[in-house]
Amino acid sequence: MRWNSVRVERYIALRYLKPERDNIFISIIGLISILGVTVGVTAIVLVLSILNGFEREVKSRFIGFDAHLKVRPKNDESIADWKTLSDSLNGVLSVVGVSPFIQEKAVVTSRQGNHVAFVKGTLESTIGTVSSLDRDLSSGSLRFEPRNGGLPGIVVGYSMDLNLETNLGDTITVISPVGVTSPFSVPAARRFELSGVFKTDMFEYDNAYAFIGLPEAQALFEQEQGVQGLDIKLGRVEDSWDVQRQLQVRLGDGFVVETWYDQHADLYTAMALEKWGSLILLSLIILVASFNIVSTLIMVVMQKTPEIGILQSMGADSRMISGIFVRQGLWVGGVGVLVGTLTGYSICFLQIQYRFIKLPADIFFLEALPMELKWVDFFAVITVSLVICLFSTFYPARKASRLLPVEALRS
């Protein structure tokens, strides 16, 4: 009996959806409802895909420039026996590179200007195993060692190089504030030769980082023979959290192990809030479209009141009457969701394949609008849209199910 009831509900719901001469206005409103849901779903799909694309690009640049993991002493002291620690970490599964570092703020000066930056001391032989610095060079080479008895090399970011107005081979002075305890203290300073310029297209890196050799950084920042920490690169970035837990247990409470996410937690949290906030706000478009569904169903109930009375007199209960209009509303919403999803993902697929939506290269760090499709977004969009459409059917369906057979037949 229930199976027959379901078939009857579906048949009548589809029957009411067919346009007729005496209800053409209702059919037009139904089409507008479908169009509204379609536009809302398409907008959500496009916006979430764009945010995913930008998140992927930003993440790839952060992960490429920064190490997957960083190991630091918990008390901010230097690691004296860092070579032994580095060798032991290289033996850990999934670890493909380890590089020591010292990082402090300093003033970088040239004849044409000065700039406050993070100066990072590391080894020329290991920096390429934990970051993409060697591949991000726009000019020059990754060289820290003195050449022909000259000055040691320094590598600066592209924006910093423009600010300092320097060329390859120019002399750059790094002034360290470490050890300055009074106005009469003389800060430590060392001279370098500009050996390379890197460009990541990320302003916070290109404008704020300079790299020098580890021995020079130890002397400049008074670290003696120690280092502040170790950069670690893994074979797969997805293993960061598992390896973090392993290393934390292995190294003990004296060290802090940070993942790439921990280093930029505020940014990734902001991007996640922006993404799901956009989903909520754009869902208002579907909510507005659902009001049209409510209006359409109410008018159908008013027009079909005599037919509802006939169905009730033939034995249809309130549950069946309610199910007819719930199914009708879901058909309208479902068609809008389906068309909107196909439209949105078709545009995304074409943009990913052919990159026809361009971006101004002088403003953005990308040539074309980035997009990325994720299954979780696919299910989230469909679920949210169908739930909104489902709720929009409750009031009209309830109104239809509460009609009295005698009053319905009289109308």
Nearest to 193 by CA among 236, 146, 234: 146
Rounded CA separation 96/308 (Å):
72
Over residues 61-75, mean pLDDT = 87
Residues facing 176 on adjacent strands: 188
Rounded CA separation 345/371 (Å):
10
Structure tokens at 287: 């909510």
Helix (H) or strand (E) holding 342: helix 318-354
Q: Among 19-28, 230-239, 298-307, which stretch is predicted with the lowest mean pLDDT?
A: 19-28
Burial group, residue 117, by CB count within 10 angstroms (0-12, 13-18, 19+): buried
Q: Which residues contact 183 (CB under 8 A, 6 or more apart)?
A: none
Burial group, residue 166, by CB count within 10 angstroms (0-12, 13-18, 19+): buried
pLDDT score of 22 more than 70: no
pLDDT score of 248 more than 70: yes
Assess contact for 263 and 70: CB atoms under 8 A.
Answer: yes
User: What's the pLDDT at 33?
Assistant: 82
Structure tokens at 21: 């001469």
Rounded CA separation 329/322 (Å):
11
pLDDT score of 127 more than 70: yes
| Best mean pLDDT range from 12-21, 84-93, 118-127 | 118-127
Residue 67 DSSP SS3: coil
Assess contact for 318 and 5: CB atoms under 8 A.
Answer: no
User: What's the pLDDT at 149?
Assistant: 81
User: What's the pLDDT at 405?
Assistant: 64
The bridge status of strand 69-73 relative to strand 229-234 is antiparallel
Rounded CA separation 310/411 (Å):
11
pLDDT score of 239 more than 70: yes
Over residues 254-281, mean pLDDT = 86
Residue 167 DSSP SS3: coil
Structure tokens at 299: 């008018």
Rounded CA separation 308/321 (Å):
7
User: What's the pLDDT at 397?
Assistant: 81
pLDDT score of 408 more than 80: no
Rounded CA separation 8/220 (Å):
84
pLDDT score of 317 more than 60: yes
Q: Where are the beta strands (DSSP E) in 1-123?
A: 69-73, 95-109, 114-122
The bridge status of strand 137-140 relative to strand 95-109 is unpaired
- Tokens 């499709």 correspond to 373
- Tokens 């389906």 correspond to 338
- Tokens 């004849």 correspond to 111
Structure tokens at 31: 């089409």
pLDDT score of 244 more than 90: yes
Over residues 300-327, mean pLDDT = 76
Q: Which residue has the higher pLDDT, 404 or 149?
A: 149
Q: Among 13-22, 110-119, 315-324, which stretch is predicted with the lowest mean pLDDT?
A: 13-22
- Structure confidence at residue 3 as a pLDDT band (50, 70, 90): very low
Helix (H) or strand (E) holding 145: none
How crowded is the C-beta side of 209, counted as CA atoms within 13 Å?
20
Mean pLDDT over the full length of the chain: 85
Q: Among 79-83, 157-161, 174-178, 184-188, which stretch is predicted with the lowest mean pLDDT?
A: 184-188
Residue 146 DSSP SS3: coil
Q: Among 162-166, 319-323, 366-370, which stretch is predicted with the lowest mean pLDDT?
A: 319-323
